[in-house]
Amino acid sequence: MKNVAALLLLVLYSVPILGQPAKNVPGLSIISQKNLMKTVTFLSSKELGGRLSGSEGYNKAASYMASEFSKLKLKPFGDSAYYQKLNVEYNEIYSPVKLNLIEDGKVTKEYKLGKDFVCRELTGSGHITAPVVFCGYGLSKPEFGYDDYAAVNVKGKIVIVFKSNPSWKMNDTSNWGNGYPRFKAKLAKEHGAVGMLIVSLPNDAKPQTTIISVLEGGGEQDENFPQFHIDIPIADEILAGSGFTLKDLQTKIDSSKQPFVVQTASTIEMEVHSKYTKEKPTMNIVGKLEGSDPELRNEYVVVGAHLDHVGEQAGEIYAPGANDNASGSAAVLEIARAFIKGKIKPKRSIIFVLFASEELGLIGSKYFVDNPPVPLEKITAMINLDCIGYGDSIQVGNGKSSPNLWNVAHHQDSLFTKMMVGATWSGGGADAGPFHDKGIPAAYFVTTNSYTHLHCMTDTPETLNKTLFEEITKLAYLTAFEVVNGGYDREEVLK
């Protein structure tokens, strides 16, 4: 019976009233490219320094968004006005940053930061000149019969290792486990290496270029071990003279499932200076729109996006983060504006939240669900917006785990936006993950083929697909509108 009632309500809310054009959902026309782009342009600007959680730039972004929440008269819903405070690992990279080829004690080639190589955002400091050894995947798993360090002495050397773990297994039970740079750096250092260059896999269908990333993996920070991500052609230049290309080496290891190390003929100078803070204060930004229904107002729909990005290196932004995720943050603000300026009196309450530190490993959204401002069982649904400004069409993820919520989005798309693809996935994803893990239905709004400029210099306001950006924001609004006003109960949405 409940199902029928819910379905009926879905139909009632979704079918446009006779004589009214379908686009007349209250508040919908308030969502505009102009407002979306205004926020994105500011958040991606030089002034905000790439918005790494813990930085001055992030704090400026947070303060700006909190003041926008305040202008809309959202109720402050953090533990200190709009701020929900938390601490994160933080690293600042100063100049000079250098990567040079050395011959006979002289620099023969200077590589360019941001183009040929980038620092891992959590790199340690160092200034070293040392010979380079290629060490495969940089793994030591003697229990599987695989050890990249077994037959080589890397003491006092710089190692080049693949950024990822192998895509193959040694046997049915072997799992390579943690392949994050912090783990690989620790292993390299334990074997005596003095620095590490990571490189993407050249045999991937679309090999990854150098990206700025703060995703370092767990464990203790080594403040004196430099780590750079170098571009594949640079690795080939370092390997020149060894008789192998990087592609040869990956093919050799992958086909034999055996380590293959190469002492290159190159010597490299690496220099970087960083200042690490284990617990740097940062914040989620949280505002509430109170529901109007005496009972349903105690149920909540969370509309969220991560505000942080990957910061700057030596005073330059190499990843402005317009799509990732100034776009989602701007959408949260415009969805709030649509509800408020559209004078919608939602039955359920809505929590608008901008998460800190997604880039370091979903720190802000995990903190939110571990320290929720309302009981988790009262959160009917979560709508996550991440990388929604670049691409071809609309995708709503986590639909296999929250099909009813996905169906709401799909139905709204069939009435309005008509840009949503059928493909979805199971199990959260990014900031939807911590909500999904707590049993909260979550829908992850993203654009298809969104990741071309991910964590790169070209993730700028200019590269965004503004029409798509507006349409996906509207679809997220329509979905939220349905859930806050519709007859769904949580059990229903959970199915």
Write out the residues near Zn ion by the rule CB under 5 A. Answer: 324
- Tell me which residue of 271, 208, 265 sits closest to 236, measured CA to CA: 265
Alpha helices in 100-180 (DSSP H): none
CB 2, min distance to Zn ion, A: 39
Q: Which is nearer to Zn ion, 133 or 454 (CB)?
A: 454
Q: Which is nearer to Zn ion, 180 or 481 (CB)?
A: 180
CB 304, min distance to Zn ion, A: 15
CB 117, min distance to Zn ion, A: 19
- Could you tell me if 83 and 283 are in contact, meaning their C-beta atoms sit under 8 angstroms apart? yes
Q: Which is nearer to Zn ion, 269 or 324 (CB)?
A: 324
Q: Which is nearer to Zn ion, 157 or 455 (CB)?
A: 455
CB 395, min distance to Zn ion, A: 16
CB 50, min distance to Zn ion, A: 11
- What is the Cα 363 distance to its own chain's centre? 11
- Could you tell me if 264 and 238 are in contact, meaning their C-beta atoms sit under 8 angstroms apart? yes
Q: Residue 236: enclosing H or E segment and its boundaries?
A: helix 232-239
* Residue 266, amino acid: S
CB 457, min distance to Zn ion, A: 14
Q: Which residue has the tokens 């006979």?
A: 104
Cβ atoms within 10 Å of 328's Cβ, excluding its own: 31
- Could you tell me if 483 and 380 are in contact, meaning their C-beta atoms sit under 8 angstroms apart? yes
- What is the Cα 137 distance to its own chain's centre? 24
Beta partners for residue 147, in sequence order: 140
Q: Which is nearer to Zn ion, 217 or 403 (CB)?
A: 217
Closest residue to Zn ion, based on beta-carbon distance: 324
Q: Which is nearer to Zn ion, 222 or 324 (CB)?
A: 324
The phi, psi pair for 121, rounded to 5°, reads: -60, -25
CB 305, min distance to Zn ion, A: 11
Q: Say how far apart CA 336 and CA 340 lie, in whole Å.
A: 6
CB 321, min distance to Zn ion, A: 7
Q: Which is nearer to Zn ion, 121 or 324 (CB)?
A: 324
CB 307, min distance to Zn ion, A: 11
Ranges assigned E (strand) in 252-363: 262-289, 300-306, 349-355
Q: Say how far apart CA 105 and CA 419 lie, in whole Å.
A: 59
Q: DSSP characters for 395-442?
A: EEESTTTSHHHHHHHHHHHHHTT--B-S---SS--TTHHHHHHTT--E
SS3 29: helix
Q: Which is nearer to Zn ion, 128 or 215 (CB)?
A: 215
The phi, psi pair for 248, rounded to 5°, reads: -55, -45
Q: Which is nearer to Zn ion, 208 or 485 (CB)?
A: 208
Give every CB contact of residue 68 below 8 A, 6+ residues apart in sequence: 39, 333
- Could you tell me if 126 and 228 are in contact, meaning their C-beta atoms sit under 8 angstroms apart? no
